[in-house]
Amino acid sequence: MSDPVLARLQADREGIVARLVEYASAPSVSTDPAYLDGMKAARDILKSRLKSAGFSAVQELQAGGHPAVYAEWLGAPGKPTFIVYGHYDVQPPDPLELWKSPPFAPEIHDHRLYGRGVSDDKGPVSIAIETLSAFLAVEGRLPVNIRLLIEGEEEVGSATLGAILEKHRDLLSADAVISADGARWRADLASINVGSRGSMRLEIAMRTAAKDLHSGRFGGAVRNALHEMAALLSSLHHPDGSIAVEGYVDDVAPLDDGERKRIAAIPFDEAGFFEAIGASAHGEPGYSALERLWHRPTIEINGMWGGYQGAGSKTVTPAESFAKLTTRLAPGQDPARAGALIEQHLRRHCPEGVALTVDRNDPGTAAYTVPADHPLLEAAEDALETALGKPPVRVRIGGTLPLSDIVRHALRLDTVMMSFSTADEDFHAPNEFFRLSAIDDGVKAWVAFLRLLGRQTPETYPPFRQSR
């Protein structure tokens, strides 16, 4: 007999898609102040829907940055309480000219919804909210207590999320966190994420003269800020792709043989993986591609610029140059120490006579690993097996879920990911899309997951709250 909550969700699929389209039309780019109105629009949509669905205490939680949206349903005394996490902010849509449809007017083509943020993270968050709303509509209650926390700063490193958690501890008492963010690895493999790399961003600027100079009048007798930036940035890596920053990989937890064998056993078409993106494999020698992505750190230049970029040419010797960097931190690395090592390296490689500015205001996020025997992880695996018909493979993501590190520090809670985006959906790139089939899988899994959690007894799963 079909589950009545699931049946309602399946019958209302068109409505679910229409509401996602409306939600994804709000241009909620957190990194750029030009989009403040879009941020507010996304929050307003969330608050209005959560109120209508029957959630209480719907409000914005603020700690100096973009507010998070909070809502709760606590009508299941004796049952466990979970924070369900997601984010309403999205990446910038640049470069706009590469989009085939408008980033903030989502369009469906070939069973995929195209638009900025549809996969990261508005689609997956919508699946969670739609499922919870359906429980409330059909049964008038949820199987467990839920505190929804949809933040607005995930794409800028969750800058004030820690402060929000500290400030609103009373609202956020729970047993564990379920994240609706964190992509499924592949469309062709049932998997569950058990960890993520950390991240930290830096910006650097170099100045070689008081002003831009004529390349004829000065060229050859003074430093050029672009030459200096090229040399400095190229010093960060060895030609083989390994990181050249002294001591940088020393703290990384070594991969043991058991884990390497487990990773090697995961079905993975490495050639196809690189072919799909038109790139060739390149990276730290001695590691497979999956090992590099899941267990090794990076230092990536995300943007680099200086001098004349317009049409034609300009014979200038530029005095200034700029770069934006992020690092992905591997398990074992401390963000503050990693940042200090990068800055030391940059200063050591910056020649005299060049002014170097290193902005590392970002405290960063450490890598996270959910304990292998955590009962919430086991329940999630059971739910996915029920929904998808096969047990999921445990995988990691190369990306970052700042939340898991932040809640571990602030609330001492663990986080399990239950997201239905897929990692190939071009989030952070033009033409981001979301497979509409993820809605079908997602609502099945979420219904099963919530029912399993509601039936928790010492015989099914140990208590979800782990002392750590």
Which residue reads 């969330």 in tokens? Answer: 46
Among 25, 28, 30, 126, binds a second copy (CB under 8 A): 30
Among 77, 78, 140, 220, binds a second copy (CB under 8 A): 220
CA 448 to CA 384: how far, in whole Å? 8
CA 368-189-3 angle, 5° bins: 95
CB of 221 to a second copy, least distance (A): 5
Among 8, 197, 435, 444, binds a second copy (CB under 8 A): 197
| SS3 (DSSP) at 242 | coil
Cβ closer to a second copy: 136 or 183? 183
The first and second tokens of residue 434, run together, are 């979301």
285 sits near a second copy (criterion: CB under 8 A): no
> SS3 letters for 37-65?
HHHHHHHHHHHHHHHHHCCEEEEEECCCC
Range 389-428, binding a second copy (CB under 8 A):
397-400, 423, 426-428
Q: Are 166 and 410 in contact (CB under 8 A)?
A: yes
CA 32 to CA 322: how far, in whole Å? 18
Size of the site for a second copy (CB under 8 A): 100
CA distances from 285 to 239, 242, 344, 461 (A): 11, 7, 24, 42
Pattern of binders to a second copy over 317-336, x per CB under 8 A? Answer: xxx-xxxx-x-x--------
CB of 359 to a second copy, least distance (A): 11
Range 37-96, binding a second copy (CB under 8 A):
91-92, 94
Cβ closer to a second copy: 4 or 351? 351
358 sits near a second copy (criterion: CB under 8 A): no
CA distances from 451 to 79, 267, 382, 447, 455 (A): 12, 31, 11, 6, 6
Q: Are 81 and 147 in contact (CB under 8 A)?
A: yes
Options 28-36, 78-86, 135-143, 365-373: segment touching a second copy (CB under 8 A)? 28-36
Among 44, 107, 246, 300, binds a second copy (CB under 8 A): 300
Among 250, 262, 308, 369, binds a second copy (CB under 8 A): 308
CA 335 to CA 468: how far, in whole Å? 21
Q: What is the DSSP letter of 186?
A: B
Options 236-244, 337-345, 366-374, 380-388: segment touching a second copy (CB under 8 A)? 236-244
341 sits near a second copy (criterion: CB under 8 A): no
Among 28, 160, 193, 298, binds a second copy (CB under 8 A): 298
278 sits near a second copy (criterion: CB under 8 A): yes
Cβ closer to a second copy: 2 or 309? 309
21 sits near a second copy (criterion: CB under 8 A): no
Q: Are 395 and 197 in contact (CB under 8 A)?
A: no
Among 302, 357, 369, 460, binds a second copy (CB under 8 A): 302
Options 69-77, 136-144, 249-257, 347-355: segment touching a second copy (CB under 8 A)? 347-355
CB of 396 to a second copy, least distance (A): 11
CA 209-351-359 angle, 5° bins: 75
296 sits near a second copy (criterion: CB under 8 A): yes
Which residues are 328's β-sheet partners?
199, 298
361 sits near a second copy (criterion: CB under 8 A): no
CB of 348 to a second copy, least distance (A): 13
Range 111-170, binding a second copy (CB under 8 A):
156-157
Sign of the dihedral through C-alpha 234, 239, 242, 248? negative
Helices 13-24 and 4-11 cross at an angle (nearest 10°) of 60
Cβ closer to a second copy: 78 or 312? 312
CA 87-90-93 angle, 5° bins: 175
237 sits near a second copy (criterion: CB under 8 A): yes
φ, ψ at 324 (rounded to 5°): -110, 130
CB of 240 to a second copy, least distance (A): 10
